[in-house]
Amino acid sequence: MLKDPRPGRVKTRLGRDIGMTAAAWWFRHQSAALLRRLDDPRWRLILALTPDTSVLTSRRWPTHLTRVPQGRGDLGERMARQLRVLPGPTCIIGADIPGITPKHIVQAFNALGTHDAVFGPAPDGGFWLVGMKHPPKPMLFKNVRWSTPHALADSIATMPDARIATVATLSDVDTVTDLARF
């Protein structure tokens, strides 16, 4: 899932530390590097973009990749929609995690062989990856406290009967302190 890297619309917490233009620049280059790393014949890479108009207008992303709109709603509604409409086992990742490698994606898909869902936890209580074997139930991601230390636990709570696996814990970049680690 990607936001069009416009200053003031992407990585705003990082932007408060380094400036909105610099934060958007970082996100654009981080996302491009991630897409190059993960463009792999073992899976189909699809870009779920926001705002929806960027599906047609953005020239920032590789043209050979399928683009779909994220649609309206909070993060949970947008992720649940992608998990419902995309075929087969599906994994969703954010683009602001510099440490993601193809090995992590393979581990997530392998976990879906014996589990209903998989999460890639983040140290801050959120997650960098969510994957599901089957389309989600309607309550998926309802009442999740996004951007808090409770996001992963709240998300798991919306899947009471699911067999859930976890893969590697990876960090995202939200602040200048996070950026300095990479």
Please state the pTM of the whole predicted model: 0.94
- The pLDDT assigned to 56 comes to 87
Binned at pLDDT 50, 70 and 90, residue 168 comes out as: very high
Domains present along the chain, CATH in parentheses: 2-181 (3.90.550.10)
- The pLDDT assigned to 57 comes to 82
- The pLDDT assigned to 87 comes to 81
- Inform me whether the pLDDT recorded for 149 exceeds 80: yes
In the three-class reduction of DSSP (H, G, I as helix; E, B as strand; rest coil), residue 116 is classed as coil
The alpha carbons of the chain give a radius of gyration, in whole angstroms, of 16
**pLDDT by residue (tens digit) across 113-131?**
999 999 999 999 999 999 9
Q: How many Cβ atoms sit within 10 Å of the Cβ of residue 158?
A: 18
- Inform me whether the pLDDT recorded for 88 exceeds 90: no
Percent of the chain past pLDDT 90, that is, above it, reads 90
Q: Which residue has the tokens 């996004």?
A: 146
> Distance (Å, rounded) from C-alpha 165 to C-alpha 4?
31
Closest CA to 50 of 27, 29, 33: 27
- Inform me whether the pLDDT recorded for 141 exceeds 80: yes
**pLDDT by residue (tens digit) across 13-41?**
999 999 999 999 999 999 999 999 999 99
- The pLDDT assigned to 18 comes to 97
Binned at pLDDT 50, 70 and 90, residue 81 comes out as: very high
Q: Are 58 and 49 in contact (CB under 8 A)?
A: yes
- Inform me whether the pLDDT recorded for 177 exceeds 90: yes
- The pLDDT assigned to 59 comes to 80
**pLDDT by residue (tens digit) across 48-74?**
999 999 998 878 889 999 999 999 999
The residues with which 129 forms a beta bridge, in sequence order, are 93, 120
Which string of DSSP letters, residue by residue, matches 27-91?
HHHHHHHHHHHH--TTS--EEEEESTTHHHH--SS-TTSEEEE--SS-HHHHHHHHHHHS-SSEE
Which letter, b or e, does each residue of 31-61 get, where b requires 16 or more Cβ atoms within 10 Å of its Cβ? beebbeebeeeebeebbbbbeeebbeebeeb
Closest CA to 93 of 155, 46, 52: 46
Q: Are 45 and 64 in contact (CB under 8 A)?
A: no
The residues with which 47 forms a beta bridge, in sequence order, are 67
